[in-house]
Amino acid sequence: MKMTSAQAAKLLRQLKEELCALQVRENNSRSFLASLDEDPEYARPDYDYNAMKEKMNAVEVKIRKLKHIINVFNTTTIIPEFDITIDEMLVLIPQLTANCSRLAKMKDVLPKVREMSGYRSNIIDYRYVNYDIEQVKKDYTELYNKLAKAQTALDYVNSTVEMEVDI
């Protein structure tokens, strides 16, 4: 069947939830308590080790196959506006985000700030900016816009380009 990366990600979440539910069910039923005067067969929960193992293995196989399909899609699908693959974009976006954060701190500082010394002194220290604040503001705006464009381009590809999923 054909689906987008966004749809595949949702399916992957569903499969992981299904596996987690099976694991919880197994944890709750693989052992049980019965008092000495109680018939253990009456307290025994319904549990079949082999059947549970098969169910969990089947879901794990689907998860592996789907993750592989998504990985191949991410390494072969080009984002046109950036001429890079999705997996490269998934590296670029955190890099842009980190650089935006760094420039955001730099763009709003004062050119000269009085420093507080840890001890009483008659000497006044000033911290001076050692870069062009206006250039940083300009670079921040450009970088912020590039980040927004990258996120939008990735979202667009993930929600429109389809891949073949056979799990």
Q: Count of CB atoms within 10 A of residue 8's CB? A: 20
Phi first, then psi: give them for residue 114, nearest 5 degrees: -70, 135
pTM value? 0.82
Residue 89, Cβ density class (10 Å: 0-12 exposed, 13-18 middle, ≥19 buried):
buried
Please tell me the predicted confidence (pLDDT) of residue 118: 67
| CA atoms of 7 and 89, how far apart (whole Å) | 19
Q: Count of CB atoms within 10 A of residue 154's CB? A: 19
Please tell me the predicted confidence (pLDDT) of residue 149: 98
Please tell me the predicted confidence (pLDDT) of residue 124: 81
The answer to whether 157 touches 88, Cβ cutoff 8 Å, is no
The answer to whether 52 touches 22, Cβ cutoff 8 Å, is yes
**Low-confidence spans in the chain with pLDDT less than 70:** 118-121
Please tell me the predicted confidence (pLDDT) of residue 6: 96
Helices (H), the chain: 5-29, 40-43, 49-76, 86-107, 133-160
Please tell me the predicted confidence (pLDDT) of residue 120: 65
